[in-house]
Protein backbone atom coordinates (compact mmCIF):
# COMPACT_ATOMS: atom_id res chain seq x y z
CA UNK A 1 0.00 0.00 0.00
CA UNK A 2 1.31 3.37 -1.06
CA UNK A 3 0.62 6.23 1.40
CA UNK A 4 0.76 9.87 0.27
CA UNK A 5 0.22 12.80 2.60
CA UNK A 6 -0.31 15.94 0.54
CA UNK A 7 1.83 18.75 1.91
CA UNK A 8 0.67 22.11 0.69
CA UNK A 9 -0.10 25.31 2.63
CA UNK A 10 -3.59 25.57 1.12
CA UNK A 11 -4.39 22.00 2.16
CA UNK A 12 -3.12 22.68 5.70
CA UNK A 13 -5.10 25.92 5.92
CA UNK A 14 -8.37 24.36 4.78
CA UNK A 15 -7.87 21.35 7.04
CA UNK A 16 -7.33 23.63 10.03
CA UNK A 17 -10.59 25.50 9.41
CA UNK A 18 -12.36 22.17 8.90
CA UNK A 19 -11.14 20.93 12.29
CA UNK A 20 -12.41 24.03 14.09
CA UNK A 21 -15.50 23.14 16.10
CA UNK A 22 -16.87 26.62 15.35
CA UNK A 23 -17.00 25.91 11.59
CA UNK A 24 -20.65 25.57 10.54
CA UNK A 25 -22.05 22.88 8.24
CA UNK A 26 -22.27 24.94 5.03
CA UNK A 27 -18.63 26.03 5.43
CA UNK A 28 -17.60 22.50 6.37
CA UNK A 29 -19.23 21.13 3.19
CA UNK A 30 -17.61 23.72 0.96
CA UNK A 31 -14.15 23.21 2.50
CA UNK A 32 -14.47 19.43 2.18
CA UNK A 33 -15.17 19.79 -1.54
CA UNK A 34 -12.26 22.20 -2.02
CA UNK A 35 -9.88 19.92 -0.12
CA UNK A 36 -10.93 16.90 -2.13
CA UNK A 37 -10.29 18.74 -5.39
CA UNK A 38 -6.76 19.50 -4.20
CA UNK A 39 -6.21 15.89 -3.04
CA UNK A 40 -7.69 14.56 -6.28
CA UNK A 41 -4.91 16.24 -8.24
CA UNK A 42 -2.38 14.05 -6.38
CA UNK A 43 -4.65 10.99 -6.32
CA UNK A 44 -5.09 10.93 -10.09
CA UNK A 45 -1.39 11.04 -10.89
CA UNK A 46 -1.63 7.51 -12.34
CA UNK A 47 -5.01 7.87 -14.04
CA UNK A 48 -4.84 6.07 -17.38
CA UNK A 49 -4.66 8.14 -20.53
CA UNK A 50 -4.52 7.34 -24.22
CA UNK A 51 -2.50 9.33 -26.77
CA UNK A 52 -4.69 11.39 -29.03
CA UNK A 53 -3.96 13.69 -31.95
CA UNK A 54 -5.30 17.21 -31.60
CA UNK A 55 -5.57 19.96 -34.16
CA UNK A 56 -4.70 23.36 -32.69
CA UNK A 57 -5.38 26.57 -34.65
CA UNK A 58 -1.75 26.32 -35.78
CA UNK A 59 -0.77 22.68 -36.15
CA UNK A 60 -1.49 19.08 -35.29
CA UNK A 61 0.12 17.65 -32.17
CA UNK A 62 -0.30 14.61 -29.97
CA UNK A 63 -1.82 14.93 -26.50
CA UNK A 64 -3.74 12.54 -24.30
CA UNK A 65 -7.34 11.89 -23.28
CA UNK A 66 -8.61 9.88 -20.29
CA UNK A 67 -8.80 6.23 -21.31
CA UNK A 68 -11.90 4.09 -21.31
CA UNK A 69 -13.27 2.44 -19.27
CA UNK A 70 -13.75 5.69 -17.41
CA UNK A 71 -12.47 6.07 -13.84
CA UNK A 72 -15.04 5.01 -11.26
CA UNK A 73 -15.54 7.19 -8.18
CA UNK A 74 -17.01 5.41 -5.15
CA UNK A 75 -18.10 7.56 -2.21
CA UNK A 76 -18.75 5.56 0.94
CA UNK A 77 -22.11 6.59 2.39
CA UNK A 78 -22.77 8.71 4.25
CA UNK A 79 -19.77 10.99 4.87
CA UNK A 80 -18.04 10.13 1.56
CA UNK A 81 -20.94 11.77 -0.26
CA UNK A 82 -19.66 15.14 0.94
CA UNK A 83 -16.48 14.51 -1.06
CA UNK A 84 -18.13 13.61 -4.36
CA UNK A 85 -18.59 17.06 -5.85
CA UNK A 86 -14.96 17.95 -5.17
CA UNK A 87 -13.84 14.84 -7.05
CA UNK A 88 -16.17 15.08 -10.05
CA UNK A 89 -15.22 18.74 -10.47
CA UNK A 90 -11.76 17.48 -11.44
CA UNK A 91 -12.93 14.43 -13.43
CA UNK A 92 -16.39 15.32 -14.74
CA UNK A 93 -16.45 12.28 -17.05
CA UNK A 94 -15.92 9.77 -14.22
CA UNK A 95 -18.67 7.29 -13.45
CA UNK A 96 -20.00 7.20 -9.89
CA UNK A 97 -20.93 4.10 -7.90
CA UNK A 98 -22.12 4.01 -4.31
CA UNK A 99 -21.18 1.85 -1.37
CA UNK A 100 -23.06 2.09 1.93
CA UNK A 101 -21.00 0.86 4.84
CA UNK A 102 -21.80 1.17 8.49
CA UNK A 103 -19.47 0.77 11.43
CA UNK A 104 -20.76 -1.25 14.35
CA UNK A 105 -19.96 1.14 17.20
CA UNK A 106 -19.32 -1.75 19.60
CA UNK A 107 -17.18 -4.09 17.49
CA UNK A 108 -15.96 -1.26 15.19
CA UNK A 109 -16.33 -3.75 12.28
CA UNK A 110 -17.70 -2.55 8.90
CA UNK A 111 -20.71 -4.08 7.14
CA UNK A 112 -22.16 -3.30 3.68
CA UNK A 113 -25.80 -2.15 3.78
CA UNK A 114 -26.16 -0.79 0.22
CA UNK A 115 -24.32 -0.87 -3.07
CA UNK A 116 -24.82 0.46 -6.57
CA UNK A 117 -21.80 -0.68 -8.54
CA UNK A 118 -21.17 -2.54 -11.79
CA UNK A 119 -20.94 -6.33 -11.28
CA UNK A 120 -17.79 -6.43 -13.35
CA UNK A 121 -15.06 -3.96 -12.50
CA UNK A 122 -12.36 -5.65 -14.60
CA UNK A 123 -9.81 -3.15 -15.84
CA UNK A 124 -11.34 -0.31 -13.84
CA UNK A 125 -9.47 2.31 -11.85
CA UNK A 126 -11.49 3.11 -8.72
CA UNK A 127 -11.32 6.15 -6.44
CA UNK A 128 -12.82 5.50 -3.02
CA UNK A 129 -13.93 8.53 -1.00
CA UNK A 130 -14.14 8.36 2.79
CA UNK A 131 -13.11 11.36 4.92
CA UNK A 132 -11.89 9.61 8.07
CA UNK A 133 -9.48 6.66 8.03
CA UNK A 134 -10.00 5.71 11.67
CA UNK A 135 -9.75 1.97 12.44
CA UNK A 136 -9.29 1.17 8.74
CA UNK A 137 -12.09 -1.43 8.84
CA UNK A 138 -14.51 0.39 6.53
CA UNK A 139 -11.91 1.28 3.96
CA UNK A 140 -10.44 -2.23 3.96
CA UNK A 141 -13.91 -3.73 3.45
CA UNK A 142 -14.59 -1.30 0.58
CA UNK A 143 -11.27 -2.00 -1.15
CA UNK A 144 -11.75 -5.77 -0.75
CA UNK A 145 -15.28 -5.45 -2.19
CA UNK A 146 -14.02 -3.58 -5.29
CA UNK A 147 -11.05 -5.92 -5.79
CA UNK A 148 -13.39 -8.95 -5.63
CA UNK A 149 -15.38 -7.44 -8.52
CA UNK A 150 -12.21 -7.12 -10.58
CA UNK A 151 -10.99 -3.54 -10.01
CA UNK A 152 -7.28 -3.54 -10.78
CA UNK A 153 -6.18 -0.17 -9.40
CA UNK A 154 -7.67 1.38 -6.27
CA UNK A 155 -6.96 4.79 -4.75
CA UNK A 156 -8.54 5.92 -1.48
CA UNK A 157 -8.91 9.63 -0.80
CA UNK A 158 -9.32 10.56 2.88
CA UNK A 159 -9.01 13.82 4.76
CA UNK A 160 -7.48 12.55 8.00
CA UNK A 161 -6.07 9.22 9.18
CA UNK A 162 -4.94 7.71 12.47
CA UNK A 163 -1.63 5.80 12.38
CA UNK A 164 -3.31 2.69 13.88
CA UNK A 165 -5.86 2.67 11.06
CA UNK A 166 -3.24 3.05 8.36
CA UNK A 167 -1.22 0.14 9.76
CA UNK A 168 -4.32 -2.05 10.09
CA UNK A 169 -5.36 -1.19 6.53
CA UNK A 170 -1.87 -2.04 5.31
CA UNK A 171 -2.10 -5.44 7.02
CA UNK A 172 -5.60 -6.17 5.72
CA UNK A 173 -4.69 -5.25 2.14
CA UNK A 174 -1.38 -7.07 2.08
CA UNK A 175 -1.57 -9.88 -0.43
CA UNK A 176 -4.70 -8.50 -2.11
CA UNK A 177 -2.80 -8.42 -5.40
CA UNK A 178 -4.28 -5.06 -6.42
CA UNK A 179 -2.21 -1.88 -6.19
CA UNK A 180 -3.75 0.37 -3.55
CA UNK A 181 -2.84 3.97 -2.76
CA UNK A 182 -4.12 6.11 0.12
CA UNK A 183 -3.99 9.90 -0.29
CA UNK A 184 -4.43 12.06 2.83
CA UNK A 185 -4.56 15.71 3.82
CA UNK A 186 -3.20 14.90 7.29
CA UNK A 187 -2.06 12.13 9.62
CA UNK A 188 -3.20 12.62 13.20
CA UNK A 189 -1.92 11.42 16.55
CA UNK A 190 -4.11 8.48 17.55
CA UNK A 191 -7.54 6.89 17.93
CA UNK A 192 -9.39 7.35 21.19
CA UNK A 193 -11.10 4.49 23.08
CA UNK A 194 -14.28 4.80 20.99
CA UNK A 195 -12.50 4.84 17.63
CA UNK A 196 -12.48 8.58 16.96
CA UNK A 197 -9.43 10.25 15.49
CA UNK A 198 -7.63 12.63 17.90
CA UNK A 199 -7.36 15.58 17.40
CA UNK A 200 -9.43 14.87 14.27
CA UNK A 201 -12.49 16.93 13.48
CA UNK A 202 -15.24 15.00 15.22
CA UNK A 203 -17.87 13.00 13.35
CA UNK A 204 -17.47 13.97 9.69
CA UNK A 205 -20.97 12.78 8.71
CA UNK A 206 -22.59 14.80 11.49
CA UNK A 207 -20.58 17.89 10.68
CA UNK A 208 -21.51 17.62 6.98
CA UNK A 209 -25.16 16.71 7.35
CA UNK A 210 -26.17 17.18 10.99
CA UNK A 211 -26.98 14.56 13.62
CA UNK A 212 -29.74 12.47 11.98
| Interaction of residue 203 with ligand URA, rule CB under 6 A | yes
Residue 134 Cβ, how far from ligand URA at the closest point, in Å?
4
Taking contact as CB under 6 A, which single stretch among the options 104-112, 113-121, 140-148, 201-209 is the one that binds ligand URA? Answer: 201-209
CA 89 distance to own-chain centroid: 14
| Distance separating alpha carbons of residues 63 and 54, to the nearest angstrom | 7
Q: State the nearest-atom distance from the C-beta of 110 to ligand URA, in Å.
A: 11
Binding flag, residue 40, ligand URA (CB under 6 A): no
Helix 25-43 vs helix 9-19: crossing angle, to nearest 10: 150
Tell me the β-bridge partners of 63.
52
Output phi, psi for 107, to 5 deg: -85, -15
> Strand pairing partners for 129?
75, 157
Shortest gap between Cβ of 97 and ligand URA (angstroms)?
21
Site for ligand URA in 85-144 (CB under 6 A): 132, 134
* Positions in the binding site for ligand URA (CB under 6 A): 79, 132, 134, 196-197, 200, 203-205
Amino acid sequence: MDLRIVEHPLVSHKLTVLRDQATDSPTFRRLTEELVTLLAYEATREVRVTPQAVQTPLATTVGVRLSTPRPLVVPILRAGLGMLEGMTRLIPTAEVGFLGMVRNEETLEAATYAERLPDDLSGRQCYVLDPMLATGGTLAAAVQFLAKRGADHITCICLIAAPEGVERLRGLLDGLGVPCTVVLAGMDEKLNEVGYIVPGLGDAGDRLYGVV
